[in-house]
Structure 1
Amino acid sequence: MKLSAGIEQAIHSVTMMCGLSGDGVLSAASMAEFHGVSASYLLKHLQALSVRGILETVSGPKGGYRLARAPEAISLLDIVLAVEGAEPAFRCQEIRQRGPNPLPKQMFVRPCGINAAMLRAEQAYRAELRKITIAALISDLNDTDDGSIMERGCRFLALHERKPTPKC
């Protein structure tokens, strides 16, 4: 199975937003710059994450994105489903019933064994992704980082985090 590059970009962007202050946001352009990716491609995925309630969109000149849920409440499966959609990776086309000299329909009352096996594998894959939260990824990073990765991210956030203008 091959996932789109948008999955990696979305996960890294969500983890980056964990470092924002309570009311801070990041623009799609700044996240794209930090990760060295296409802003328009990343924006498409950030919008999908917003639609699924993972991110919150703040409009206006100081607008951008921030987490809509706590990192403990965002799983890798949430992100994959937001970016890739809920359809299973394998979609049975019932080709066993095609071709020359097909067998009668009554020979195919049981579900296709290949389809059943692929769906079981998909369920296992999704169950694993469901177990891994953004908070757990950050914790793992903190356990292995000598401080360099976090420092780089913090420096970037200090320069690019947007704060809403107070309404007075």
Structure 2
Amino acid sequence: MKLSDGVEQAIHCMLMLSGLQADGAMPAAAMAEYHGVSTSYLLKHLQALAGAGLLTSVPGPRGGYRLGRSADKISLLDVVLAIEGTGPAFRCTEIRQRGPEPLASKFFAKPCAVTAAMLRAERAYRDELRKVTIAELAHNPGTELGNAIAGRSCAFLEQHERRPAAG
């Protein structure tokens, strides 16, 4: 199965946003800069995440995006479905009913073995994605890579996070 680049971008943006203060927001342009991707392409995915309730859009000059709910309540499956849609990856077109001298329709009342196997595999795939949360992925302390990523993102967040003006 091939997922779009938008899935990777969305997951990494969710990870970045999980590091914001509760009242903080990050502009789409800053996230695009950080990840080296097109702002317009990223915006499409951020809007899909917001439409699914995974992100909240904060309007105004101190606005941007923040998580729509706690990072421990957002699974990888939530992100994938928001970007790719909820339909199954495999779509049976009933190829077995085409061609010369097709079988009688009574043989097509149930899904064929190919469809059944593909749907089982997709259920397993979705079950695994459902088990992993953004919160789990956001914290990878104790490794050289984890520490390097944390250092880079912390510095970027400090520079680009938008917060409401003090009362």
Match of 1:22 in 2: 22
1:138 partner letter:
A
Match of 1:163 in 2: 163
- Matches of 2:110 and 2:50 in 1, distance apart? 40
Instruction: State the 1:110 CA deviation.
Output: 2.6
TM-score normalised by the chain length of structure 2: 0.95
- Matches of 2:146 and 2:2 in 1, distance apart? 31
1:26 partner letter:
M
Match of 2:13 in 1: 13
Instruction: State the 1:135 CA deviation.
Output: 1.1
RMSD of aligned Cα (Å): 1.3
Match of 2:141 in 1: 142
Match of 1:51 in 2: 51
Instruction: State the 1:146 CA deviation.
Output: 5.7
1:124 aligns to 2:120 (yes or no): no
- Matches of 2:146 and 2:22 in 1, distance apart? 26
- Matches of 2:88 and 2:146 in 1, distance apart? 39
Count matched residues.
166
- Matches of 2:4 and 2:110 in 1, distance apart? 33
Match of 1:86 in 2: 86
Listed one character per residue, the Cα deviations across residues 33-57 of structure 1 (whole Å, up to 9, x for unaligned) are: 0000011111111111101111111
- Matches of 2:32 and 2:120 in 1, distance apart? 36
Instruction: State the 1:90 CA deviation.
Output: 0.2
Question: Percent identity at matched positions?
Answer: 60
